Structure 1
Amino acid sequence: MVPTPAVATAVPELLPDHDLERSSVVANNTMNRERGLAGVNSYARELGFDPLSHLSARSASPSWLDLCSGEGRALRTAAAQLPATAVLTGVDLVGPLDAVPVPPGLELITASVTAWEAPRTYDLITCVHGLHYVGDQLGMLARAASWLAPDGLLVAHFDPVSVRTADGRPAARSAVAALRKAGFTYSAAHHRLTLLGPRIVRLPFRYIGADPASGPNYTGQPAVASYYQRDGAGSTR
């Protein structure tokens, strides 16, 4: 069951992306900094599978895009264990803070994930608790869907409660329904969206701004609420 707040909240002043990304909630230096590839605080634990094993089974030249990658520790570990032909990319608004050399095959990009465009397709695309700090979450998911290689896998943490209508009402159920219609699978127990295979996704929502002061989400950490208008034009292929 998708959790939905019982009542609508008053609509706050909504910020466009360039202002949102300067807010203290989004432009932080703690998100995803210490998370490694395996172990207690790891990608394997958060994603429910071992990314390294998944990529190793793909091909001689596996590719992984990690959105909101922080220091890129999981990517660094993977780069050391995957073939030299592997392509690993991390994109993060703040970027790495530690002055550690980047290993061959890995590119860490400091950029907004809402503006950055992938120059290629990837076997695996992840966003571990990163959508909580993105304004247009649904737009980001739609864009990432087109960056998948054939049979590529997209996995992202998603909190439907953070999706609101223009008048402040909850839009969790309609957002999840639209994503499922587009081909995504949503696990409410793990707050994870998955998508297998590339596609063009058009969701019936038009992004109008975000509220970085909406308070903590299910993680207990401050997060962003994303506001949308329904446009009735959603389709997928």
Structure 2
Amino acid sequence: MVANNAMNRDRRLAGRDGYSRLFDVLALRPGARWLDLCCGSGRALLDAAVIRPDLDITGVDLVGYFAAAGPVRFVTASVTAWRPANRFDLVTCVHGLHYVGDKLGALLRAASWLSDGGVFVADFDASGVRLPGGARRLLPALRAAGFSYDSRARRIRREGRFTGTLPFRYLGADDRAGRNYTGQPAVRSYYESAL
């Protein structure tokens, strides 16, 4: 993780930057396991736990500035280093990947934590990934790995667990890249071909 920002600190379950844009969390089956990466203060997770106390909810954030513990399990860790003990039915990341250095590595890690029928969905700005010769190779490689990308909403999604690789090697990141489409400072990630 190269940078983090106050944008995620007070996010709620509903609202402009809420989770309903990504996935209907409240429609999860009873007992489902939900992991939220870069969860900020975790207020959205606490909101969900009140409405759906039957969900097993875990939130991970680098800063560890959590609103409360309650029925939600909070972990202070980097999404690029943390390893969960279990698989999840849903993995989300709302506006968190903007601040991660190895964005592609984070995508692969999150998809590997899914249960067989699980869903990963996250805000993902493909323009924050730099490849030699431009980004033309990024989206086809992601599609070949089973990810779908909505360029208009800047949202990436995958259904089912993934344990493969992408044909790129992480080189480093620039946390002074400037503002992204959200208006917040973001991190630019650099890769080379791994082939």
TM-score by length of 2: 0.93
The answer to whether residue 64 in structure 2 is matched with residue 95 in structure 1 is yes
The answer to whether residue 170 in structure 2 is matched with residue 215 in structure 1 is no
In structure 1, the partner of 2:167 is 204
2:92 aligned partner, one-letter code: T
In structure 1, the partner of 2:122 is 156
The answer to whether residue 153 in structure 2 is matched with residue 190 in structure 1 is yes
Contact 1:145 1:201 in 2 (8 A): no
CA-to-partner distance for each residue in 1:29-86, whole Å, 9 max, x for gaps? Answer: x1312211123341113x1x42122x1xx2x3111000000011111011122244x3
The 1:148/1:216 distance shift into structure 2, 3 A limit, reads same
What secondary structure, in the 3-state scheme, does the structure 2 residue paired with 1:124 have? strand
Aligned pairs for 1:71-150 within 5 A = 71-84=41-54, 86-98=55-67, 100=68, 102-104=69-71, 106-150=72-116
Large movers: runs of 4+ above 6 Å: none
Contact 1:68 1:91 in 2 (8 A): yes
Higher Rg: 1
In structure 2, the partner of 1:4 is none
The answer to whether residue 42 in structure 2 is matched with residue 42 in structure 1 is no
1:52 aligned partner, one-letter code: L
In structure 2, the partner of 1:170 is 134
What secondary structure, in the 3-state scheme, does the structure 1 residue paired with 2:7 have? coil
1:226 aligned partner, one-letter code: S
Contact 2:89 2:117 in 1 (8 A): yes
1:160 aligned partner, one-letter code: A
Q: Shift of residue 165 of structure 1?
A: 2.7
User: How many percent identity over aligned positions?
Assistant: 53
Contact 2:130 2:188 in 1 (8 A): yes
Q: How many residues were matched structurally? A: 195
For the residues of structure 1 that align with 2:97 and 2:118, how far apart are their CA atoms? 20
Q: Shift of residue 97 of structure 1?
A: 5.0
What secondary structure, in the 3-state scheme, does the structure 2 residue paired with 1:109 have? strand
What secondary structure, in the 3-state scheme, does the structure 1 residue paired with 2:110 have? helix
For the residues of structure 2 that align with 1:27 and 1:219, how far apart are their CA atoms? 14
Contact 1:125 1:153 in 2 (8 A): yes
For the residues of structure 2 that align with 1:200 and 1:122, how far apart are their CA atoms? 14
Gaps of 5+ in 1: 1-16, 21-25, 233-237
